[in-house]
Amino acid sequence: MQKTLIILLGPTGVGKTELSLSLAERFNSEIISCDSRQIYREMKIGTAAPSEDQMKRVKHHFIGCIDISSYYSCGRFENDALAVCNELFLHSDVALMTGGSMLYIDAICKGIDDLPEVDQQLRDQLWKRYAEEGIEQLSQELKVLDPDYYDKIDKKNYKRIIHALEICLSTGQTYTALRKETAKARPFNILKIGLTRPREELYDRINQRVDQMMKDGLLDEAKRLYPQRELNALNTVGYKELFNYFDGNWTLDYAISMIKQDSRRYAKKQMTWFRRDPAIMWFYPSQKDEIEDYIDSQLGQTANTL
């Protein structure tokens, strides 16, 4: 049988965690997380990271393994996750990945362009400028340095604008010229399983999850991290809204309502992204048996082609 990476994906709050545990146990696999925020050890509550009991039940990779002050990129995730896959495939024909970070999923499926490492001092300067000046000035600089990429990019996506500027300023070349955007071949099969729910049901789950986070201590977690609020890792739903409360700009009730609203918006953005991928087979989380049957059928087809 060809080695197969199963990717269980879907929007925030849809119910990936419990199903991933069941699938991991069924296929005797560890779990590779592709969540770009659960990777930070200080952000357990606000990112709904797996609990200690869940991590004892099945070994997880890329959960709470780096400090929020550390830089971590999609390119590094690609290299690190491929290394874990190779290790797991030494002992099993199946590995399981789960999460909802779109760029991390693309990194493992398609690969990231081999771009040069950016000097940390330059990165810190650009993020400081973004915090002080907003995105408009940085966006105009990108327009001068790389007009082709500027014309294509979402002008509200500050992370991509900043990253493109990092590359332009550190290399003296345009970001456009350095991007190949060619999918890399993988030595294993990739099987994508998407989880979905009716919109109102998903939004209700998201609202309830935010309420549970607050009961679990999200306010105290955000308060501990507030002195480091300018770090890129903390520009995250659940923290940035509470930082506005700490600043005195919002009431606590309004901050919580905004966490719910921003979480729902993020879920909508995720679904818009995922729906473009025809390789994803969609199921409701309750269709556990159907999902397992589908995986079995695909693994059987892979075996029969060898």
Q: Report pLDDT digits (tens) over 96-139.
A: 999 999 999 999 999 977 677 777 788 888 888 888 888 999 99
Percent of the chain with pLDDT over 70: 96
Percent of the chain with pLDDT over 90: 75
CA distances for 265 relative to 11, 203, 235, 271, angstroms: 10, 10, 15, 10
Which residues is 305 bridged to in the sheet?
none
| Nearest in space to 43 (alpha carbons), one of 196, 255, 216, 301 | 216
| Nearest in space to 274 (alpha carbons), one of 111, 38, 153, 100 | 100
Q: What is the pLDDT of residues 208-261, one digit of tens each?
A: 999 999 999 999 999 999 999 988 899 999 999 999 999 999 999 999 999 999
CA distances for 248 relative to 156, 233, 245, angstroms: 25, 22, 5
Please give the pLDDT value at position 180.
65
Average pLDDT of the residues of the chain: 92
Please state, in angstroms and rounded to a whole number, the distance separating the CA atoms of residues 261 and 245.
15
CA distances for 108 relative to 34, 70, 161, 174, 264, angstroms: 9, 21, 23, 25, 26
Q: Which two structure tokens, joined as six digits, stand for 121?
A: 């001092």
Please state, in angstroms and rounded to a whole number, the distance separating the CA atoms of residues 81 and 119.
23
3-state helix, strand, coil in the chain (%, to 5): 55, 10, 35
Report the amino acid identity of residue 289.
D
Centre a 10 Å sphere on the Cβ of residue 93 and count the other Cβ atoms it contains.
Answer: 18
Provide the whole-model pTM: 0.84
Report the amino acid identity of residue 189.
N
